[in-house]
């Protein structure tokens, strides 16, 4: 049984560690965030760690599924996954630690592009793995709206 679930456990752990490390380095939803003018539709602070944890779990499950199925396209799909995970990792550092709101918005647009590519690459291997990434894509599109509005409201 362990052989069957091991890739999922490892992949989910990697995704959660990347997210947690990024939040720790960036200071997460710090005092500075609370002092920013917030855009309409901005969720309460406690929502973010819940949503991000769920999304990192879905990312990990999807990447494990791609890994397990293997094949000629898996290496490319997992490379795109790793790149988007790095872009995701850096976004919160740019936004929260360095307060680079405009740069963070552009960086987030880059993330959206890579998540689209990741979903496409995953879909070549597993439709299910690709579909697991749709909530992530929707969330980061919403995050791009929030980021843009934070940049506009906090010059």
DSSP for 18-80, please give it: HHHHHHHHHTSS-HHHHHSPPPTTPPPTTHHHHHHHHHHHHHHHHHHHHHHH-STTHHHHHHH
Sign of the CA dihedral 144, 146, 149, 151? negative
Token duo for residue 128: 């299910």
For residues 129 and 7, give the distance between their C-alpha atoms in angstroms, rounded to a whole number: 14
Query: Structure pTM?
Result: 0.93
Considering only CA atoms, which of 56, 72, 61 is closest in space to residue 129? 61
Tokens 């909530």: give the residue: 135
In tens digits, what is the pLDDT along the chain, a chain of 155 residues?
Answer: 888 899 999 999 999 999 999 999 998 766 667 788 999 999 988 999 999 999 999 999 999 999 999 888 999 999 999 999 999 999 999 999 999 999 999 999 999 999 999 999 999 999 999 999 999 999 999 999 999 999 999 98
For residues 43 and 124, give the distance between their C-alpha atoms in angstroms, rounded to a whole number: 34
Name residues whose C-beta falls within 8 Å of residue 140's C-beta, 6 or more positions apart in sequence: 108, 111, 112, 115
Considering only CA atoms, which of 41, 12, 45 is closest in space to residue 27? 45
């Amino acid at each position: 049984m362990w052989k069957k679930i091991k890739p999922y456990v490892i992949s989910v752990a990697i995704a959660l560690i990347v997210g947690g490390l990024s939040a720790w380095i960036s200071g997460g939803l710090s005092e500075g965030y609370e002092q920013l003018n917030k855009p309409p539709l901005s969720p309460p602070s406690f929502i973010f760690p819940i949503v991000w944890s769920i999304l990192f779990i879905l990312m990990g499950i999807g990447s494990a599924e791609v890994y397990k199925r293997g094949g000629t396209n898996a290496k490319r799909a997992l490379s795109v996954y790793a790149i988007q995970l790095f872009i995701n990792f850096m976004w919160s550092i740019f936004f929260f630690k360095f307060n680079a709101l405009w740069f963070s918005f552009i960086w987030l647009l880059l993330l959206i592009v890579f998540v689209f590519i990741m979903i496409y690459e995953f879909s070549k291997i597993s439709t299910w793995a690709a579909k697991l990434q749709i909530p992530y894509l929707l969330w980061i599109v919403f995050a791009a709206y929030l980021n843009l509005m934070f940049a506009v409201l906090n010059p």
